[in-house]
A and B are shown apart, each in its own frame.
Chain A
C-alpha cells in the first residue's frame, strides 16, 4: 500500500549547519507532497508543499523538490537556527485525498 518513509531521528545540529531530512514515498498516481512542522507543545503547521513533479516548495529558508523519478521529497535548509528545533513530518495526499504521514524526525539545533 501507499506509505511514506522519512529519515529516523533524532537529528542534532549546531546553529548555521546544513540540514537534510530524507523522505521517500510509495504511491500510485500523482500525489501531492507536504512537509509539516510541529513545534514543542503545538499542533502541526504546513511548512511547504508541492503538487506536481519537479515543483519546488519553499518557506522560511526550507526547500524541497518533488522528484518523481526517485519518489523523493527531501527537506533542506542551508543554515539552521535554534528556532528551527521541532519535529518535521513528511506527508503525501494520493488519489483518495487522505494525508499519509511519515513517522516524524526530531531536529534539535544547539547554539
Chain B
C-alpha cells in the first residue's frame, strides 16, 4: 500500500491564482482530513469528510473548498490565493472516527503565495 499520497510536494502561487492540492489514499478509509501547519502553531483542521459525497468544515475553512466524489480522493481547492495561505498542507485518513482511531498522514504540500 502506498498509504496517503499528496501532490504536488511544493508550489509557488501568485496572489489571486487558484490551485488544487491532490490527496489519494489506498487503504479504503472512510474518513479523510485536510490540515494546515503553520510554524510553531501545530495543525489546524480545514475540512474533513466522513465518506464519499459528505464533507464538513473544520476550524479554518475560509478560502478553501473540498469535494469527495470517491472513497480514495479528497482534493483541496484554493480559490484566489492569499499570502495568509502560505503553509504546509497535510492530508490524512482514518478507518473510522472511534476514540482510538489512528490518522495516517501524507507527506505534505508546501505552498508559498507571493
B residues touching A (Cβ–Cβ < 8 Å)? 4, 33, 40-43, 45, 48, 58, 90, 92, 97-103, 105-108
Contacts and interface: CB of A to CB of B under 8 A. Distances in A.
Contacts of A31: 99
Nearest to A8: B40
A32 interface: yes
Contact of A43 (B41, B101, B108): B108
Interface of A: 4, 31-32, 41-46, 49, 51, 89, 93, 97-99, 101-104
B42 A102 contact: yes
A46 B48 contact: no
Contacts of B90: 43-44
Given A32-B100, A49-B100, A98-B58, A43 B42 contact: no
Given A49-B100, A51-B100, A99-B45, 8 more contacts: A32-B100, A43-B4, A43-B107, A44-B43, A97-B98, A97-B99, A98-B45, A103-B42
The 5 closest A-B pairs by CB, nearest first: A43-B105, A97-B97, A101-B42, A32-B99, A103-B42
A89 B37 CA distance: 12
A22 to B, nearest CB: 15
Main secondary structure of the interface of B (DSSP, over half): loop
18 contacts: A32-B99, A32-B100, A43-B105, A43-B107, A43-B108, A46-B102, A46-B103, A49-B100, A49-B102, A51-B100, A93-B99, A97-B101, A98-B45, A98-B58, A99-B33, A103-B40, A103-B41, A104-B40
Given A89-B43, A98-B48, A45 B100 contact: no
A56 B93 CA distance: 25
A46 B103 CA distance: 8
Contact of B105 (A45, A97, A103): A45
Nearest to A102: B42
Nearest to A46: B102
Contacts of A44: 43, 90, 92, 103, 105
